[in-house]
Structure 1
Amino acid sequence: MDELFRRGFVRSVGILTGGTAIGQAITVLMLPIITRFYSPEDFSLLAVYMALVAVFSVVGCLRYNIAIPLPENDCQGINVLALSLLASTVISLILAIPMLLMASGFAALLGQPGLETLLWMVPVGVWASSMYTGLQYWASRKKRFGLITKTLITRSLGGVSAQLGLGYFGSGAFGLLLGQTLNNSLGVFGLARSTLREDRAAIRQVSLKEMARNLKKFRRYPIYSVPEALCNTAGLQVPILIIASLAVGPEAGFVLLSMRVLGLPIRLIGGSVGQVYLSEAGEKLRQGDLPSFTRRTMATLAKVGIVPILLAGLISPFVFGPVFGDEWARAGVIVAWMTPWFFLQFVVSPVSMVLNVVNRQELAFLLQVVGLLLRVIAVLGAARFAPSMQAEVFAVTSAGFYCLYAFVVLSVSRTVTV
Structure 2
Amino acid sequence: MFKHFFKSDFSKNVATLMGGTLIGQAIPFLSTFILTRIFTPDDFGLFAIYFSLVNIIGTVSTGRYEMAILLPKHKSAALGLLKISILSCLLVSVLLLGVLLLVGEEIAILLGNKELYKFLFLLPISVFGFGIYKTLSVWFTRLKKYRKISASIIVKSISGLIFNIGVGLYYGVIGLFLGNVLSSIIAVFILNPFEKGDFIIKKRRIHFLLRKYWKFPAFDVPSSFIYMLSKNGVVLLLSKGFSATITGHYSLTERLLIAPSQVFVGSYTQVYNQEVSEMFSKGKQIGGFVSRNIFKVAKLLAIPFIVGTYASPFLISILLGKGWEVLYKYIFILSPFIFFSMILNPMSYVLKIKDRQDISFIQHLVLTAIKLLSLFISIMVFKLNVFIALLVYGILSILTLAFNANVIFNILELPVKKRLPVFLIALICVVMTLINMYFI
Q: TM-score, normalised by structure 1?
A: 0.93
Q: 1:413 to 1:402 in 2, by over 3 A?
A: same
- Matched to 2:240, the amino acid is S
The 1:105/1:377 distance shift into structure 2, 3 A limit, reads same
Deviation at 1:160, TM superposition (A): 1.0
Residue among 229, 240, 251 paired with 2:224: 229
- Matched with 1:166 is 167
How many angstroms does 1:392 deviate by? Answer: 3.7
Query: Which letter maps to 1:183?
Result: S
The residue that corresponds to 2:136 in the other structure is 135
Which region of structure 1 is more displaced relative to structure 2, 307-316 or 220-229?
307-316
Give SS of 1:263's match: helix
Deviation at residue 3 of structure 1 after TM alignment: 8.7
Partner of 1:52: 53
Change (3 A) 1:47 1:397: farther
- The Cα offsets for residues 319-348 of structure 1, whole Å up to 9 and x where unpaired, read as 212211231122221111111111112211
1:382-401 to structure 2, matched below 5 A, reads 382-384=378-380, 385=382, 386-389=384-387, 390-401=389-400
1:322 maps to 2:321: no
1:303 paired to 2:302:
no
Q: Would you say 1:117 and 2:112 are equivalent positions? A: no
Letter matched to residue 75 of structure 2? D
Counterpart residue number, 2:331? 335
Count residues in correspondence.
Answer: 410
User: CA offsets per residue over residues 337-362 of structure 1, 9 Å max, x none?
Assistant: 11111111221112211011101111
Equivalents in 2 of 1:42, 1:92: separation in Å?
25
- CA 1:100–1:394 in 2, change beyond 3 Å: closer, same or farther? farther
Structure 1: distance between partners of 2:188 and 2:404: 32
Following superposition, the deviation at residue 414 of structure 1 comes to 2.5
Q: What are the superposed Cα offsets for residues 279-315 of structure 1, whole Å, 9 maximum, x if unpaired? A: 1222111231322221121121111111111222212
What is the CA-CA distance between 1:205 and the residue it aligns to?
Answer: 7.8
Partner of 1:244: 239
Residue 280 in structure 1 maps to residue 253 in structure 2 = no
Cα gap change, 1:251 to 1:393, in 2 (>3 Å):
farther
Cα separation, 2, equivalents of 1:86 and 1:204: 11
Counterpart residue number, 1:191: 191
Hey, what's the Cα distance between the residues in 2 that align with 1:369 and 1:284? 29
- Note the C-alpha offset of 1:173: 2.0
Matched-pair identity in %? 27
| Aligned-pair CA distance for 1:5 | 5.0
Shift of 1:206: 4.7
Superposition map of 1:1-400 within 5 A? 5-169=6-170, 171-192=171-192, 195-197=193-195, 203=198, 206-285=201-280, 286-384=282-380, 385=382, 386-389=384-387, 390-400=389-399
Structure 1 gap ranges (5+): none
Instruction: Tell me which amino acid in the other structure corresponds to 1:293.
Output: F
Q: Does the 8 Å CA contact 1:13/1:273 hold for their aligned counterparts? A: yes
Contact 2:29–2:260 at 8 Å: present in 1 too?
no
Q: CA shift at 1:207, angstroms?
A: 1.4
Letter in 2 for 1:299: F
**Aligned residues of 1:78 and 1:206 also touching (Cα < 8 A):** no
- Determine if contact 1:225/1:361 at 8 Å carries over to the other structure: yes
In the aligned structure 2, how far is the partner of 1:300 from the partner of 1:223? 33
User: 1:403 aligns to what?
Assistant: 402
Matched residue SS, 2:355: coil
Amino acid at match of 1:9: F
AA partner of residue 413 (structure 2) = R
**Which amino acid is 1:343 matched to?**
F
Look up the SS of the partner of 1:328 in the other structure: coil
Residues 354 and 321 of structure 1: is their aligned pair in 2 closer, same or farther, counting only changes over 3 Å?
same
Query: 2: CA distance between counterparts of 1:393 and 1:177?
Result: 32
How high is the TM-score relative to the length of structure 2? 0.89
8 A contact 1:93–1:123 mirrored in 2: yes
The aligned residue for residue 428 of structure 2 is: none
Q: Which amino acid aligns with 1:177?
A: F
